[in-house]
Structure 1
């Protein structure tokens, strides 16, 4: 049989195979489109702001400032509470503001995956504890949990006190009736503290710290641009833009910083002439790697980048707002000072780990500050299965869900006069019947913030040192502070407070 006749006989079979593959592909595409349209029809039952056909609110945020974006989200939440939909071209993002709905999502292991906007962080943070999902997230969480053990936190408190003492000295050196811009001082304090505790290094170079903080803000702006400008979501378009080039430069700079931290700590661990003052999170990661744990140099950098960012920036804004609120509420400040004097004595001294739990009213003030100004105002998840919310709406698997923490904390049915600063809301007798998911400044459920005790101890230590030496008087007011949309809650202006030496 000739090769030609063989091919002629095979040709009908090949054609049939091609047609079958083609129709199978069409069937799969049709099935996907059907499911997508079905899901959209289900989600259309959820109220939404007025939007244009097809593009929805896709162009609503073009050319709009980050401050205006923040304001728009607050308006939407007030108008459409307890849940609303943001139609953005083919995406329907569901915003949850009700504690019952949020509990369904955050308490479940079926909705652990972060929303797709977190993918924009991958070039910088990789797939570390913040951005990973599935088995990798479980493994990293298990690996990192011991680094925040109570005994290790006791050592961290030493560093918190040291940095607080330096902070007090700096404030002493620039007392002015016009007030002190606390933002820079607090940023330095929290970055130094996380460097000393988590990384085991004193980041004393002021220029390096300024450069690092500036790059964080540049990165935040880049990520918000990618989220709000739809065409930036497509990598094949984005990679050719000036913004992508800027992101590359900023990412390289941030990585140089973290890689330098890791390299220096490795040298310190090997060197016999350099004494390690205390065990740091980075030491444990390096030790895990040496012992054969499932983490390599890239994985260590992922967690260092994540904690350098999350461990200082979120605490910095919380401390700044707490100081501002106490300066503007004299009676609350007096109660805090009285409690600190009772626990620590009237002669200034650093708090110990035994002292911190006794500062109950100070803790109420911190919690109320985080209610009004949660450091992370919203978080995103992907629905891992179909479910119906407690408010009666169906959410299909794969839906983007945005949990608006800032607006959740302003539910008047849970927190009467929600804009009022009232630390008594967090007295034990006032929290007994409150849904624990109505207040989630550190998220909640399996993916809650691993460093929340770290943050609370640091804030208590700082306020002890500060209020043993100074009283606070208002220059700026909370009403005068404007926020803008970023990776965390950020202000668009300095925060000034007057410091008065205590007698």
Structure 2
């Protein structure tokens, strides 16, 4: 019966109309099968093999066309990059590899400074055949660019994804992070206006206790203390005050700092280096950090649910610490609870944003804290003036644990000036991933180019900051409300015991067009107000009880080293805290 059906089908194909013979199967039979094969049992197998071969051939052709189209698109984008880059002034590339071998991360700002002097406000630098770097120095162009170029470099997304998993807060494309950034900014600004203040008394006490433990050795490493202060403030903000009493908080801090040292290095690989043993050690640290983050969040949720269910104080879990007893931090008002309850993308990892905020916030905040410490330690007169502000603010405060930060204009000016001279990052980096960037000056930056702003050069431009732009002078952010010397005004308020407001007012840093330590535009730091007020609270509490000095013998290493055109960050120095006689 089978052979008969096969023969009948062959007969039908041989006698079919021309239209049916033009089908794919008809062509196969006409070209490959002889009439003799129709009567054999091998025909069915031959037919299947022929169909499979044709399908494979079609698949290969489709794949070839798709790959060719992809490569042609890459070539077209590369050609547009080359053509667009050729229209921007800058040094010609002397080799196929560009100028990447002639510069390093340390001297890039110096190289850009020389190029800007030679070629103008916008300059290009080829780092390779597919890597175009465009630097801008003019204030107007910088702010226009930062307002239009909303994307980050792809390496930023790779860094956070490799370390913490897929995140909706640290992606290169702005459209994918806009909603999350708006929510985070709204939450931080809400906390900024709470009566309890940005940094609670409990957080300050924890930091002061750590400082006293470090001082038992005689002096304190400025970097170690700065990192701990930033970590404590961010941890209490993200997780709640219960985080301070967690038994594994020290291990969490050490892991986070270890990851921060290698994160950008491993993300710089175009192909993930699975073959390197060091990479797997790094991945092991990241996995452990994720586990600790999840563990603490679950402990907080468990204690909070127990409180709500029993309507009484929860029993203290010995694995967590005594601080996990009933506390407002256990209420769902920390960033963790809001983060977990607002997942927009189901593909993202639930704790990636939390760890990303801790990672990025600790690095940038610790850098600023360290610079402020060294500025204060080198200027005892400035400390005395700030202390006078603190005394005045304390007299105006009705609560013992609350200070009127609005009265401490010189303290805020010190924070602003420290961030101006040595910003956390020497370069602001942006990118337009999909479209060319057209500026009002007529300059067009091709899509895919790396756009950088040498922040130190812009913030030390003589036209904006006068002739002393390279000197530390916090008074540049103050304006006089009435005549009189600032030091005399503050000293008089401290000495005569009269509650007297400062004769200076703090200028809005946004009025300074060349002030960019926190970025500008849609990608500006969403937590800049929160961080500034938090640091003001910390330093006010610290300077109220202690004087900051350099360890004897370190005075000669105090001034930041000058490269050709920019200040270089100081290495870590030993500082000493001297108790005030109150």
Aligned position for 1:427: 478
Q: CA deviation at 1:72?
A: 1.1
Q: Which residue of 2 is the match for residue 78 of structure 1?
A: 113
What is the TM-score of this pair, normalised by structure 2? 0.71
Deviation at 1:152, TM superposition (A): 6.4
- The answer for the alignment partner of 1:247 in structure 2 is 282
Distance 1:95 1:266, change over 3 A: farther
| Aligned counterpart in structure 2 of residue 192 of structure 1, from 223, 232, 253 | 232
Larger deviation: 451-460 or 208-217?
208-217
Q: Are 1:284 and 2:338 matched, yes or no?
A: yes
**Structure 1 counterpart of 2:243:** 202
Match of 2:48 in 1: none
C-alpha separation in 2, matches of 1:163 and 1:17: 63
> d(CA) in 2 for partners of 1:36 and 1:44?
12
Q: Does 2:248 align with 1:221?
A: no
What does residue 101 of structure 1 align with? 141
User: Is it true that 1:234 corresponds to 2:271 in the alignment?
Assistant: yes
Gaps of 5+ in 1: 62-68, 484-488
Task: Quote how far apart the aligned CAs of 1:213 are.
Answer: 3.6
- Are the aligned partners of 1:368 and 1:423 in contact in 2 as well (CA < 8 Å)? yes
Change (3 A) 1:23 1:375: closer
Taking the aligned partners of 1:297 and 1:447, their CA distance within structure 2 comes to 23
Which residue is 2:295 aligned to?
A: 260
SS state at 2:134 partner: strand
Q: Which residue of 1 aligns with 2:154?
A: 116
Deviation at 1:104, TM superposition (A): 1.6
CA contact (8 A) 1:351 1:464 kept: no
Say which of 351, 368, 374 aligns to 1:324. 374
Cα pair distance change 1:97/1:258, threshold 3 Å: farther
Matches within 5 A, 1:443-458: 443-458=519-534
Q: Does 1:365 align with 2:427?
A: no
Which digits, 9 at most, give the CA deviation of each residue in 1:101-136, with x for residues without a partner?
22122223xx22211111322122432323253443
Aligned to 1:7: 28
Instruction: Find the counterpart in structure 2 of residue 139 from structure 1.
Output: 179
The 1:438/1:24 distance shift into structure 2, 3 A limit, reads: same
CA drift of 1:206 comes to: 7.9
Q: Which structure 2 segments of 5+ residues have no match?
A: 1-12, 15-20, 33-53, 308-313, 315-324, 481-505
Shift of the 373–167 alpha-carbon distance from structure 1 to 2, 3 Å rule, reads same
Give the distance between the partners of 2:30 and 2:406, measured in 1 at CA.
85
What CA deviation, in whole Å up to 9, does each residue of 1:72-107 have, x standing for no partner? 122123212344434232211223333222212222
Alignment of 1:304-453 (within 5 A): 304-345=354-395, 352=402, 355-383=404-432, 384-389=434-439, 393-416=443-466, 417-427=468-478, 436-453=512-529
**Per-residue Cα deviation, 1:449-495 (whole angstroms, up to 9, x for no partner):** 22122211210111111111122233446755579xxxxx9968433
* C-alpha distance 156-319 of structure 1, shift in aligned 2 (>3 A): farther
> Are the structure 2 counterparts of residues 326 and 134 from structure 1 closer, same or farther at C-alpha, using a change threshold of 3 Å?
closer
Q: In structure 1, how many angstroms separate the alpha carbons of the residues matched to 2:561 and 2:540?
A: 28
Structure 2 vs 1, CA of residues 166 and 363 (structure 1 numbering), >3 Å: closer, same or farther? same
3-state DSSP of counterpart to 2:204: helix
Could you say what secondary structure the match of 2:233 adopts?
helix
Indicate if the aligned counterparts of 2:139 and 2:513 stay in contact, CA closer than 8 A: yes
Whether 1:498 and 2:576 are equivalent positions in the alignment is: yes
SS at match of 1:93: strand
Quote the offset at 1:137 in angstroms. 1.2
Shift of 1:47: 5.1
Residues 50 and 178 of structure 1, relative CA distance in 2, 3 Å threshold: farther
Q: Among residues 61, 73, 84, which one is paired with 1:42 in the alignment?
A: 84
SS of 1:233's equivalent in the other structure is coil
Q: Give the conservation status (yes or no) of the 8 Å contact 1:318–1:375.
A: yes
Contact 1:77–1:97 (Cα < 8 Å) also in 2: no
Check whether the contact 1:317–1:490 (CA below 8 A) recurs between aligned residues.
no
Give 3-state SS (helix, strand or coil) of 1:364's partner.
Answer: helix
C-alpha deviation, 1:380, in angstroms = 2.5
The worse-fitting range, judged by mean Cα deviation, of 172-181 and 307-316 is 172-181
- Does the 8 A contact of 1:156 with 1:197 survive in 2? no
Q: CA separation of 1:241/1:327 partners in 2, compared to 1, >3 Å: closer, same or farther? A: same
Q: Distance in 2 between matches of 1:263 and 1:350?
A: 35
Which structure has more relative contact order (CA 8 Å, sep 6+)? It is 1
Structure number with larger C-alpha Rg: 2
1:56 pairs, out of 86, 90, 98, with 98
Say if 1:28 and 1:309 are closer, same or farther in 2 by CA, change over 3 A: closer
Q: Distance in 2 between matches of 1:166 and 1:433?
A: 31
Count of residue pairs the alignment pairs up:
478
2: CA distance between counterparts of 1:342 and 1:386? 54
CA contact (8 A) 2:88 2:443 kept: yes
Equivalent residue, structure 1, for 2:500: none
My pick for the range that moved more, 166-175 or 253-262, is 166-175
Q: Per-residue deviation at 1:369?
A: 0.7
State which of 543, 548, 556 in structure 2 corresponds to 1:467.
543
Structure 2 counterpart SS, 1:345 = helix
TM-score (norm 1): 0.81
Shift of 1:423: 0.7
Retained in 2: the 8 A contact 1:194–1:311? yes
For 1:433 and 1:364, the matched residues in 2 are separated by 9
CA-atom RMSD in angstroms = 4.0
Q: CA–CA distance in 1 between the matches of 2:285 and 2:393?
A: 45
User: 2:353 maps to what in 1?
Assistant: 303
Shift of 1:295: 5.7
Moved more, 178-187 or 263-272: 178-187
